[in-house]
Amino acid sequence: MAKGGVQDEALGRVVDFFLRQNGFENQAADTLRRALDEVIDGMRTGRWAVDSLEKTEKSYIGTKVEILFKFDFELEDGEKLDTRIEGAEVDIKCTVLRDWMIPREAVGELCLLVRIDDARSKFWIGIVRTSPEVLRPGKNQDGKTSLSAAGKKHIRWIIEEGILPANLLATLDPKIRAQILDSGSGQKRINQLFRLVQRRVISRVDVETVARQKDPMKRVRDARLHLAKEGILIIGHQGDDPAKAKKYGLPVPIKGEFVSVWVGIEQPGGRGGPFLL
């Protein structure tokens, strides 16, 4: 078999490897969300968006994706490139923009291409062999190049426009976000988060970013007490909370997630059920 045929066969084996993974899209989405959250590091920095990162930090997202991808999917180390999949050397390239930068050592090799659009909660994963004909002729000062417009048509997509777990703060109306983040102490910010963002899943990372304190889960427990007085219920994953979520037509939280909803305030003496404010 000619060399080109062998290369095509290797590409097909890598694609098939990922297609065989049970729940690959959901696992990949969780992996990419975790990579972004770990680099943004909202609890320590107060940041909530990829756009707030320094250039070097944005570059590190690619390294973090490589580390977590190899761990989560049990990929072995490669000899020349990042990993070896089904006997083929593969480089893992990630971008939060539109283009992937291909270094000299990856030219002519298989590349696992990952693109993340955090603002739109979308991601893409594909495989391409970076032969010279799919690359732009020019190189940057580091000797890296990228796929040409025609070259992108050669990508074998495994996931196109996958759903990335939402970056809650990035998707909020700016005025609502400001009301939350500028409301004072960590406890006040958490109270405001659950007060203003109802019927949407709020993750532990969202809580950590807004609280910016140690033991942010204590802030949630205290918020339950504060907001109950306003008729707002905070639902988690334990006990009868999932049943409550279904009762009120809410997303059902999993471990580390919460959702709030206004249910009204009980009348004095607990008689007659809740009345509307």
Q: What is the pLDDT of residues 73-91, one digit of tens each?
A: 999 999 999 999 999 999 9
132 and 79 in a single domain? The answer is yes
The token pair that represents 216 in the structure block: 């942010």
Same domain, 41 and 125: yes
Asked if 150 and 177 sit in the same domain, the reply is no
Q: Looking at the predicted structure, is the pLDDT value of residue 193 above 60?
A: yes
Q: Which domain holds residue 133?
A: 3-163
Residues β-bridged to residue 159: 125
d(CA 158, CA 181): 38
Residues 164, 217, 242: CA angle, nearest 5 degrees? 65
- One domain for residues 117 and 223: no
CB 72 within 8 A of CB 31: yes
pLDDT bucket at 268, cuts 50 / 70 / 90: low
CATH code for position 125: 3.40.600.10
185-222 as b/e: b if 16+ CB within 10 A: ebbebbbbbbbbbeebbbbbbbbbbbbbbeebeebbee
Tokens of 133: 């004909």
158 with 176, same domain: the answer is: no
Same structural domain, 44 and 64:
yes
Q: Would you say 224 and 162 are in contact if contact means Cβ atoms under 8 Å apart?
A: no
Given the DSSP bridges, would you call strands 88-95 and 110-117 parallel, antiparallel or unpaired?
Answer: parallel
Tell me the pLDDT tens digit for each residue of 102-157. 999 999 999 999 999 999 999 999 999 999 999 998 777 677 999 999 999 999 99
Last residue of a domain, one of 163, 189, 216: 163
Q: Does 141 share its domain with 186?
A: no
Do 8 and 71 share a domain, yes or no?
yes
What does the pLDDT read at residue 266?
A: 61
pLDDT in tens, 221-267: 999 999 999 999 999 999 999 999 999 999 999 999 999 999 987 65
| Burial classification of residue 101, based on how many CB atoms lie within 10 Å of its CB (0-12 exposed, 13-18 middle, 19 or more buried) | middle
Give yes or no: residues 30 and 152 share one domain: yes
If asked whether residues 21 and 128 sit together in one domain, one would say yes
Domain endpoint, select from 135, 163, 191: 163
Q: How many domains does the chain have?
A: 2
Q: Looking at 133, 163, 193, which one is the last position of a domain?
A: 163
Q: Is the pLDDT of residue 274 over 60?
A: no
Residue 1 pLDDT class (50, 70, 90 cuts): very low
Are 55 and 189 found together in one domain?
A: no
pTM: 0.87
Distance CA 253, CA 237 (A): 5
Domain identity same for 185 and 267: yes
Angstrom distance (rounded) from CA 110 to CA 114: 13
Q: What's 181's domain CATH number? A: 1.10.10.10
User: Which pLDDT score, from 0 to 100, does residue 269 have?
Assistant: 55
| Percentage, residues of the chain above pLDDT 70 | 93
